[in-house]
Structure 1
């Protein structure tokens, strides 16, 4: 009888202990949290960019546009060589969803013309930085490296630089290398401003490197004239714009055959800006 009473008392003790454990883990008890002050807070990842892919760069420029920017292309008599010139040459890339490019080079009796387009899709690997913000940082780095003149006064409102900067072109006016009649920069700008894209220049001051409006989310144009010793002066017009997380760089060069001939600034800028607008339309931006 004593043994039976001992077993019964032990069972009662175990039952009491189990009841205490069950009540301590009930739904009404506070949640065990090492950092109770952080309860309910979550980290929201930055938004991804709009674009997941890039256009095929060599097919992004139409034949009509190439005819205007590379006049010598229509002078190629061999059909196979002309088709090859239209196709351009793709830049080497290891990821066509991240960075692609294409370039063209065509020689004519009057000049050698070069054109290149580059698309870069920016991806941020920082959860606190969006793809758009990362692309904006890349764009701003390019703009800073271009050393654009500081706008002031009324020029700032129109996106034109300060008129105290030196004009981008000098020397003789353009020859027929671009297919146009030689005119001075000022008269050329005035005569064709109506047909040029969004707020085109009407004076040599407005042809300076500058920020552009109405092209993507942000854009700028650069215009540089360089001379290689005794050779003709080469002009390079660069347009860079950003649409969401894609940065597009367009470079247009012309080097006339004749020494002392200066490529027309406005004509090249208008052509480059028209192509940039077409590329922005292809991106849908």
Structure 2
């Protein structure tokens, strides 16, 4: 792949290549550079950083949006980034990787489960400046119009200034217009209190539906949850180095009797 004078932008998602959210992201990125899309052929929400092993991946060029190079992948969002880097760009990294716009929030602890964010994380692992975008609306009729100017501004800032090493951005939008602006935030301390609804199938065997309640354990006004509740765009810098550095001195004081 020859390097263009315009920035090359890899667009991925987890809702599938025909999702309205990725169309909104493509519309913005087309004005900023040369767009290459690699996205799953079906929804992959909640896949986290899963990759496909033990079975082949299907990878086909498709023509969905005029003037955009697009590929449909049978694998996970992370598979899409890996195939883009190795099979489309052939090791020559794009200037930016953007993932989304996801149908549904990926704030707080949701970042760990998100296929949208894991695709962006994989981009960052490949040393590509990366951003994940999500909207607080799960419906196929979601309105992304109020997100676009913020998507554009954040992408331009990253293209111009780059990001710190091993860092990416997790960006979440409230639903509806009249946003107050951008807040740089930390990830709120929250978790899902899961329950499993047990049911019986026609063969008298039990099966389970996952349900749950989002539990916020954080009253801080510097979190992504607070920002979204107060109609701001939340921007959280994320790192994929999961080392708990504050715990290392404690563990180094342990006495191991082996």
Which TM-score applies when normalising by structure 1? 0.21
Normalized per residue, the structure richer in helix is 1
Normalized per residue, the structure richer in strand is 2
